Amino acid sequence: MNTADLGLPVDVPSTALFTDHYELTMLQAALAGGTADRRSVFEVFTRRLPEGRRYGVVAGTGRVLDAVENFRFDADVLGFLREQRVVDDRTLEWLSGYRFSGDVWGYPEGEVYFPGSPVLRVEGSFAECVLLETVILSILNHDSAIAAAASRMSSAAGDRPLIEMGARRTHELAAVAASRAAYVGGFASTSDLAAGFRYGIPTVGTSAHAFTLLHDSERDAFRAQVKSLGGGTTLLVDTYDVAEAVRTAVEVAGPELGAVRIDSGDLLLVAHRVRQQLDELGATRTKIVVTSDLDEYAIASLAAAPVDAYGVGTQLVTGSGHPTSSMVYKLVARADSADPKAPLTPVAKRSSSGKTSVGGRKWAARRVDEHGTAQAEVVGTGPVPQELADRQLLVKLVEDGRVLSREPLDVVRDRHATARANLPLSATQLSRGEPVLPTEYV
């Protein structure tokens, strides 16, 4: 199907083109050379966490399943590849029937991960697996980066809700995925209507400075907003003078005013002053929402301030200093043929460069102490030790090309909260440190 009539800012007819050119040329050469159908195992992992981070968060798995299912080469795509001579006719013919028919295993979405954790494993023929590299990495690298930042922020915020409001700071569709990942990481809601539409995440928002400036006075603006949206609305009080605005807000809305929002200034100081003023005006239940370039450190620094909710934008959608994860998709084992009984040979790059990896099809398990607190990420290629058998992390997501199940986002969000809670307490320290669990290879 051609999506040009959709008029989206970016028209791409299927997920099949979210692919690097070299995946297709490798496919062509492998088809010609007779190696394309060798049974292969690819794994997604990261060699290290972003500097100073103590754990990673797997996010995007649900989107990966959608992408794998919709990875098809239709007439438009094939026409483009033919016209641009990306690959030869034999390869185009092969692509026209493409449908992933292998298996995918992975860490359940929302789980935490560490260096070397095999967060996703893709098994099938070399040809069918190699093509999925780019789109799988795009999704996991982006979504996991946002979820990791979100997790740190939600940990810092404690019981206070976090609102994701970063759509304007990132690509318009990356923003939708970022809202999703933020929700996985513990955010409560989003400003992004597309995220509400696509993923059912609660959307919130009331007004910006432009609304106040549109009116002849701040009082007129507040009146118009309260009249239309009700006294439970959130009034933005920092367009002119905060103290005056708070007074006007309570006069206009009454002491039942829902909330005020502060978007600038020294938030710690201003929040205290505004709380005191609201209380003096009898608006003791009016909440205070703060928004202004917040990150996990700013959130933590406001822990003792009378703040009821945080809105986070830029730092969330840019991963708070780490906008991407460094996950890679590597061939770790392959057979000499398509025969399912042919033995798998572990393979790995081994140049003297630091970019080496561990070959072999891996299992992973998390060892815990007697209190259930995680002690180590254990990764191995041989048989799984008895005591770790029921602690294994990889679950089957796709079998013979069929997606086995899809999870509601709330299940994923709860899983992340549980996984984080089971880490040693120092996992949620914001200060830089080593990964909170060691990775042991057995």
CA distance 441 to 252: 65
Contact string 3-42 vs its own copies (x = CB under 8 A)? x-xxxxxxxxxxx-xxxxxxxxxx-xxxxxx-x--x-x-x
Task: Report the residue number, 5 or 159, with the smaller CB distance to its own copies.
Answer: 5
Q: Is 265 in the site for its own copies (CB under 8 A)?
A: yes
Rank residues 23 and 308 by Cβ distance to its own copies and give the closer one. 23
**Identity of the residue, 263 or 440, whose beta carbon is nearer to its own copies in the bound complex:** 263
State both tokens at 125: 């023929």
> What tokens does 300 get?
């933590």
Contacts of 156 (CB under 8 A, 6+ apart): 296, 297, 299, 300, 303, 430
State which of positions 90-149 bind its own copies (CB under 8 A): 126, 130, 133-135, 137-139, 141-143
Nearer to its own copies, 61 or 428 (CB): 61
Among 75-83, 94-102, 115-123, 375-383, which window interacts with its own copies (CB under 8 A)? 75-83
The answer to whether 82 contacts its own copies (rule: CB under 8 A) is no
341, 351, 372, 383: residue in contact with its own copies (rule CB under 8 A): 351
Give the nearest distance from C-beta 375 to its own copies in angstroms: 32
CA angle 399/70/86 to nearest 5° reads 110
**Of 210, 431, 189, whose CA–CA distance to 310 is shortest?**
189
Instruction: Answer left, alpha or beta for residue 97, where phi above 0 means left and psi between -120 and 50 means alpha.
Output: alpha
Ranges within 290-329 binding its own copies (CB under 8 A): 292, 314, 317-319, 323-324, 326, 329
Any contact of residue 63 with its own copies (CB under 8 A)?
Answer: yes
Rounded to whole angstroms, how far apart are CA atoms 387 and 116? 21
The nearer residue to its own copies, 233 or 428, going by C-beta atoms, is 233
Three-class secondary structure of residue 360 per DSSP: coil
Considering the complex, what minimum distance in angstroms separates the CB of residue 262 from its own copies? 9
Give yes or no for residue 330 binding its own copies (CB under 8 A).
yes
Q: Which residues in the 158-197 window bind its own copies by CB under 8 A?
A: 165, 167-177, 191-194, 196-197
Is residue 119 exposed (0-12), middle (13-18) or buried (19+ Cβ within 10 Å)? buried
Reduced to 3 states, what is the DSSP secondary structure of residue 430? coil
Q: Does residue 381 interact with its own copies by CB under 8 A? A: no
- Cβ atoms within 10 A of the Cβ of 347, count? 16
* Closest distance to its own copies from the beta carbon of 268 (Å): 14
**H helix or E strand, kind and range, residue 379:** strand 374-380
To its own copies, the closest distance from the beta carbon of 29 in angstroms equals 4
